[in-house]
Amino acid sequence: MDLLEFARGPALWLSLAILFLGSAWRVIGIFRLKSKADFSEPRSMRLMSGAMGAIIGHMIPRKEFRDTEKIGTFIAYFYHIGLAITVFGFLPHIYFIERLTGISWPALPAPVVYVAVAVTFVAMILILMERLTDGVLRLLSNFDDYFSWFVTFLPLVTGMMVINHPFPAGAAPVPPLEPTLLAIHLLSVELLFIWLPFGKLSHAFLVFISRGVTGATFARKGAAS
Amino acid sequence: MSDINTVHPIDTESARFSVKKPEVCFDKQGDLADAERVAIAMKSFTRDFTSATAAYMESCIHCGQCAEACHFYVATRDPKYTPIWKLEPFKQAYKREAGPFAWLYRALNLKHEVTVKQLEQWQELLFDSCTMCGRCTMICPMGIDIAGLVGLARHGMHEAGLVPHELWAVAERAEREGSPLGATPKVLKERIEWLADDYSVEIPLDRDKADVLVTLSSIEIMKYPQSIVAMAKIFNHLGASWTIRSDGFEATNFGMLSGNVQWQRHTSMKIIEAAIACGARTLVLPECGHAYGALRWQGANLYGKPLPFKVLHISEFLAEAVRSNQIKLKKLEKTMTYHDPCQVSRRGGATTAAREVIRALGVELREMESTGDMNWCCGGGGGVVAIHRADDLRHKAFEIKIRQIDDTGAELLTSSCANCRQTFDDGQAHFKWDKTMNSLLETVADQLDTRPSGT
């Protein structure tokens, strides 16, 4: 078994298993706890609408907070959207997902993805610099913050190493032209899969829970969230 | 030789290359061993854990945005006042003891055990520098209810005997005497007799039956007794069947603020039982922010079932009376700005009530730049005003309020919380500020149009 076979085979399946089982365990860890009955007279019972309102509403800072000194607030849009474009818009990634799930969709033009990669790259460097220099962020930061940044940044770097090499067309798993570089890229993504359930990257799914809980609780009180 | 740079003069006195260690200031109650204090604090914190609180503990992404929403951070720029940092030992304990990967954290010792030193250090962060105003939740990209978690952490700190002593003493007095400021039933009775006599107003006390039970805040009884007169004028004008009861009049809840759930329950149950005893259909809470949170949103849960009466903050009661034309107000030809009590507006959901009343007063309302649900706290809520070692910090935070209010250029400054009012009075005296906080209730009583309708 060469490195690429390992990355496409056991490493991939193991990392995906850890990703899904670990994430499920983390969510179960939250919902296994009791939820208390609230006997106070509700002002509104539109809890679902409150939850959805908070999930969507907290994507954009309220106007009172727009002159915040944290550049991370603003930069976050760039690397989140940039990563989404890169992961879901790049043709080889769509082939990869198609191989795994059978689902595919039209790709974005490669230059668009390259711009997204560049923007993400710069944005991620900037947020790391802010984390290293801002007093509040330095105080709050721990291993999770830096390692999560690292495992997100690494696939970006290893991916860029593969970009310059032509890739074979089609979803069929034919041998690529640069198997070692591709294997390194895949392994870096698998590292991200493995880490995601344990650290702060799980905000990818926790965001819906915590925002939703607050939205529903505050909607019950008739309060804004 | 003179300094060449007068803007940044050369400092030759201070120690070089040293880190200024802040003085750790904490109080202790009881004589528990250190290890016991930690164990009790952590057990208490996680005992009341629900899936909602667990979701919050799991979700922080360490973005630090909450700092920008906190008046204590904004006023000082000291990172330790970052709201989520105030929970750090409890986050640490949760991950190590209660989270889904607790076994992993323990096995690899990825999160260390919390020490009593940490809890002592965090006393200032959980009590002196958090008013539980909840502004941080509004900015948090994960929507974490940090104020709610601080409330839970205070439970742990109280059980461990790690509460600022002044706050503890006030709460203990409230438990022992029925009032944090010495407003015992006897004092209340004397005050009411005096007020009824001086202001020639009937103030019913201890009626057996009444539709409305009116509750008071000790701050009003002892410091702003004209509020009681204002209440009486309005309820009498409405021809309401109402009473104040000496067996359940104190709406402030220092048990809640100091973190003692039992004391909180005792205070709430007194007024709940008094309301039931007189068959009240409505319980009116005074101009007090945290009293609203304690009874309107937590009262039924302490009672264990839905309350058999409606709970209204006085501003909600006045808004209903204005809306239904039960009271008419003489127009006040002035400009006014309104300070929202955090627990009534942002965390209570009654933001619009006071504004309905203000509209009826006919004033020109000049809203502050960050207002309503986004209002800046006065800095004295959550029991902070009772902790004198926090005065300097509170005054720094109060400067935000001064700027906000001065920017409106309004002639009148009004709120609907006696605790905010005393914080403003203190701030006014400290800064020799020219603005005096007014009570919305008293303004309404002063402007009450008592002429028969049609004249």
Mean confidence (pLDDT) of chain A:
92
Say yes or no: B214 and B280 in one domain. Answer: yes
Task: Assess whether B178 and B317 both reside in one domain.
Answer: yes
Residue B420: which pLDDT band, with cuts at 50, 70 and 90? very high
What gap in Å lies between CA A75 and CA A64, rounded to an integer? 18
Task: Report the SS3 class of residue B54.
Answer: helix
Contact A140 B104 (CB under 8 A): no
Do residues B178 and B155 share a domain? no
Both B251 and B135 in a single domain? Answer: no
HSE of A98, CA atoms in CB hemisphere, 13 A: 16
Total count of domains within chain B: 3
Provide the 10 A C-beta neighbour count for residue B114. Answer: 22
Per-residue pLDDT band at A162 (split at 50, 70, 90): confident
What is the predicted pLDDT for the residue at A66?
A: 84
As a whole-number percent, the residues of chain B with pLDDT over 90 amount to 87
Statement: residue B205 has pLDDT above 90: yes
pTM attached to this predicted model:
0.92
In B17-56, the residues whose Cβ lies within 8 Å of chain A are 49-56
B29, part of any domain: no
Domain final position from B279, B302, B322: B322
Is A195 a member of any domain? yes
Residue B324 is predicted with a pLDDT of 96
**pLDDT tens-place string over residues A1-29:** 799 999 999 999 999 999 999 999 999 99
Q: Is residue B168 part of a domain?
A: no
Q: What is the distance, to the nearest Å, from the Cα of residue B106 to the centroid of all Cα atoms in its chain?
A: 37
Domain that holds residue B97: 34-163
Which residue from A minimizes the CA distance to B297?
A40
Which one, of B64, B137, B141, B139, lies nearest residue A59 by Cα? B141
Angle at A46 between CA A42 and CA A50, to 5 degrees: 105
- Best to test chain A binding among B51, B340, B370, B374 (most A CBs inside 10 Å): B51
Domain that holds residue A114: 68-220
Say what percent of chain B tops pLDDT 70.
Answer: 94
- Please say if the pLDDT value at position B30 is more than 60: yes
The two structure tokens encoding residue B82: 């970052």
Q: Which residues of B13-36 are buried (b: 16+ CB within 10 A; e: fewer)?
A: eeeeeeeeeeeeebbbeeebeeee
CATH of the domain at B267: 3.40.50.1860
Q: How far is CA B207 from the centre of its chain?
A: 30
Q: Is B451 inside a domain boundary? A: no
Q: Hey, are the CB atoms on A198 and B143 less than 8 Å from each other?
A: no
- Would residue B26 count as lying in a domain? no
Q: Is residue A107 part of a domain?
A: yes
H, E, C per residue of B237-277: HHCCCEEECCCCCECCCHHHHHCCHHHHHHHHHHHHHHHHH
Portion 345-364 of B in contact with A at CB < 8 A: 345-351
Does a structural domain hold residue B100? yes
Residue of A nearest to B371 (CA): A64
Contact with chain B for residue A198, Cβ under 8 A = yes
What was the pLDDT predicted at B10?
A: 60
How many domains is chain A built from? 1
Rounded to whole angstroms, the Cα distance separating B425 from B423 reads 5
Residue B189 CA to residue A98 CA, distance in Å, equals 79
Supply the pLDDT for residue B1: 43
Give the pLDDT of residue B14: 60
- Distance, in Å, from the CA atom of B196 to the CA atom of B199, rounded to the nearest integer, reads 6
User: Where does the pLDDT of residue B49 fall: very low under 50, low under 70, confident under 90, or very high at 90 and above?
Assistant: confident
Give the nearest chain A residue to B91 (CA atoms): A140
For residue B210, give both structure tokens. Answer: 């009444």
Q: Are residues B296 and B177 in the same domain?
A: yes
Is B454's pLDDT higher than 80? no
In this predicted model, what pLDDT tens digit does every residue of B223-265 receive, in sequence order? 999 999 999 999 999 999 999 999 999 999 999 999 999 999 9
Domain for residue A108, yes or no?
yes
Stretch B131-149: mean pLDDT: 97
Domain identity same for B184 and B314? yes
Sheet holding B242-243: strands in order across? B242-243, B212-214, B282-285, B310-313
Instruction: Report, as an integer, the average pLDDT of B269-294.
Output: 98
Chosen domain end from B322, B347, B379: B322
Contact B51 A210 (CB under 8 A): no
- For residue A69, pLDDT beyond 80: no
